[in-house]
Structure 1
Amino acid sequence: MDTGTRLAIAAAFVWLGMVLAISFVEAPLKFRAPGVTLRIGLGIGRLVFRALNVFEYVFAVVIAAALFTHETSTSLNIALCVAVGALLTQTIVVRPLLSRHSSAVLEGDEERRSKAHLAYVALELVKVIGLVWTGVELVGG
């Protein structure tokens, strides 16, 4: 196995670990911490998810660059496209909706719930599937 493939494997699994740790552990737990209000939790969430998304794009570029000179299987290409497509949809479509909603909450309008949050979580699950699939394809390929 060459260095580029090893780098792609590492990037895929670190990316997966970050998504699992932040989206499915940190995000829900921060609202249960003593003294963390909805306003504080949303403020923290904005910062954390903005940083996560930057790292995710870096990992996507690292994987693509590491595999650029390789012949890759259709299955690997689809798996990576699933993960990157979910990320693009989250950051281009869903996150602006969440930002508008969280801004309204931060300004005191806490009456309505956002369906965009459910879409974001669903896309996180799609991304996790894509990243697991990508990692398996890279290790097995």
Structure 2
Amino acid sequence: MNAAPAAVATAAVFIWLGMVLAISFLETPLKFRAPGVDIPVGLGIGRIVFRALNRVEIVLALIALASVVMARPSASVAGLTAASVVILAGQLIAIRPRLNRRTDRVLAGQHHSRSSMHVYYVGLEAGKVLALAALGVSLLVAV
């Protein structure tokens, strides 16, 4: 692998991984435990935070993807990169719009039962964390 593009890809992947871990698995569950944060307030905050996170994820995914392509990757690095990008795309295209519509209904005062979309989102988020961690380690080993 070419060292410079691989180093850029490694940095992008570990920044992406850190952001996902910090927001999805730390900030999100904890915000609902804060005093005065009810479901509508938490959902409103979450919408803003995840919109920002997803925009940054797209940028980091594009940087990682372009860098990996330029680095002439091994099959495992290419596969893990593709898996990470596909998982992100699935979250943004298939799940986030449904979660946004549900959030709109809750914020409008229409209370509905729990949504299975959150479970799918968290499952994909866990898969993305594993793919990014494996990709980051693979990039470090390849350089």
Above 0.5 in TM-score?
yes
| 1:37 has 2:38 as partner | yes
Unpaired runs of 5+ residues, structure 1, are none
Percent identity for Structure 1 against Structure 2: 47
Number of equivalent positions: 141
Range with bigger deviation, 121-130 or 103-112: 103-112
Please give the residue correspondences for 1:25-104 in structure 2 after superposition, counting only pairs within 5 Å: 25-104=26-105
Q: CA deviation at 1:68?
A: 2.7
C-alpha root-mean-square deviation of aligned residues, in Å?
1.1
Alignment deviations for residues 75-123 of structure 1 (CA, whole Å, 9 cap, x no partner)? 1111111111110000000001101111111111223111100000000
Work out the CA distance in 2 between the residues paired with 1:67 and 1:80. Answer: 8
Runs of 5+ consecutive residues of structure 2 not aligned to the other structure: none
TM-score by length of 1: 0.96
Q: List per-residue Cα deviations over 1:32-81 (Å, max 9, x = no partner).
A: 10111111100010010011011111111111222232221111111111
Which residue in the other structure is 1:24 paired with?
A: 25
Tell me the equivalent position of 2:129: 128
Q: What CA deviation, in whole Å up to 9, does each residue of 1:10-53 have, x standing for no partner?
A: 11001000000000000000001011111110001001001101
Equivalent position of 1:119 in the other structure: 120
Displacement over 6 Å in runs of 4+: none
Alpha-carbon distance in structure 1 between the residues aligned to 2:87 and 2:132: 10
